[in-house]
Amino acid sequence: MKKIKILFVCASMKVGGAEKSLVNLLNLIDYSKYDVDLLLLQKQGAFLKQIPEQVKILELKSRARALYNSENRKIHEYLMSVIKYVVTFVELIRWKEYDVLRAHRWKDIYSKLCENVEGMYDVVVAFQSGEPTYYAFDKVKSKRYVTFFHTDISNIKLANEIERNYLKKADLIATISTKCVESIRTEFPELKGKVVCLENLSSKKLIIRLAGENQPEEFIGIKDYIKIVSVGRLVKLKGYDMVVDAAKILRECRINFQWFIIGEGEERKALEKQIREKAVEKYVHLIGMRENPYPYIKYADIIVQSSRYEGKSVVLDEAKILEKPIIVTNYNSVEDQVLDGINGLICNMDAEGIAERIKDYIQNPEVIRGDTRNYDGDIDAYMDVLLGIKNEKCGNIKNEKNN
């Protein structure tokens, strides 16, 4: 039987929710049915090592590589880099918002410079919105085009007319929660018939294997402390400023804990300063990126997600697989994953709310009274939707077409 040829396009394999979701998907695919290629605008990131060997990673051609990567060796590639920085600076002055400037940068310049991808595909899946979608739709020949949004777009600024033109080209617009579906339908009501909710798949076997049997070195010698773990980029939307303030409240209540935050980002210096000012250096630890965060999740006593908004959190799914208690802020889409008191605790989006629910759980673990586990979805049904084959049996798939 001839294999179905699929190309996934993603910005990179850096640590992030979309990238982790893609890694999980690639580890669930049946490669006896599919011939899978992966195109990365930047061939880098901790998750590269988790991509199955059956996946062929394509190389960008010369001009595209120069525009999207900083390591250039040929003179004409250096010239491309100069173009990149000049164009980006000019577009930033014009449009201010980074997602908007990248859309205009692609439309005005990059689309004319980047080379086409060779070959013909049965389906190309742009696994992120923005530049991966623009590249996939303009530079790849395919019978079918799919794009993904991994966030609630009501919280971000888009170049709507440019975005609309690409979404019109899509055969399928996929997103990861019902709240995200609603945000796309609100912003682009004329395209609502193309929108489908494909919830993130989690590879249970992969996560359990990577979690291993040995606890992280940082956990050795602190068995008498409550071990709290948060995972995510150090950016404003993740709410780690609230975490630091919550830690101060917990110390004032004489609760012994160690809070480990896994991730890197632009807020590191501000958070380090806040940690010093709140005098919680001995209790809150910014431990940086971890290629494998699963041992930290497995041996944690509590997983806290303090986000101001999310599409659908991969970290929460992974915490469920490892059967960990979850405390999460009440952002718009939270109830797509967590039911308060059933499989986790939902708290107010402030330091006091976070601290209060942590205390509630420490004093009475039975406050989470339901099943915290999470299970693999139906990969066959998921792939059928990507390919345009109707399949009604998968609970992970919610077609919003007729709503």
Note the pLDDT of residue 400. Answer: 40
Distance CA 120, CA 6 (A): 9
Q: Which CATH superfamily is domain 4-61+115-201+377-399 in?
A: Glycogen Phosphorylase B; (3.40.50.2000)
The full set of domain ranges for the chain reads: 4-61+115-201+377-399, 210-367
Q: Which fold has domain 210-367?
A: Rossmann fold (3.40.50)
State pLDDT tens for residues 331-369.
Answer: 988 888 898 999 999 999 999 999 999 999 999 999 988
- Given a contact cutoff of 8 angstroms between Cβ atoms, the answer to whether 10 and 132 are in contact is yes
Residue 203 token pair? 């590879």
What is the identity of the amino acid at 68?
Y
H or E stretch including 89?
helix 75-95
pLDDT given for residue 391 in this prediction: 44
Q: Do domains 4-61+115-201+377-399 and 210-367 have the same CATH topology?
A: yes
Residue 262's DSSP bridge partners are: 231, 288
pLDDT for 101: 81
Name the pairing type of β-strands 123-126 and 56-58.
unpaired
Report the C-alpha gap between 192 and 66 in whole angstroms: 37
CA dist 66 and 79 (Å) reads 9
Structure confidence at residue 85 (pLDDT)? 66
Low-confidence ranges of the chain (pLDDT < 50): 391-403
- Residue 234, strand partner residues: none
Q: How many CB atoms lie within 10 A of CB 108?
A: 13
CA distance 374 to 319: 8
Determine contact, residues 78/84, Cβ cutoff 8 Å: no
Q: How far, in Å, CA of 5 to CA of 59, rounded?
A: 17
User: Torsion angle, CA of 270/273/277/281, rounded to 10 degrees?
Assistant: 120
Q: In 3D, which of 16, 24, 369, 243 has the Cα closest to residue 8?
A: 24
Rounded to a whole number of angstroms, the CA Rg of the chain reads 22
Contact between residue 67 and residue 113 where contact means Cβ atoms under 8 Å apart: yes
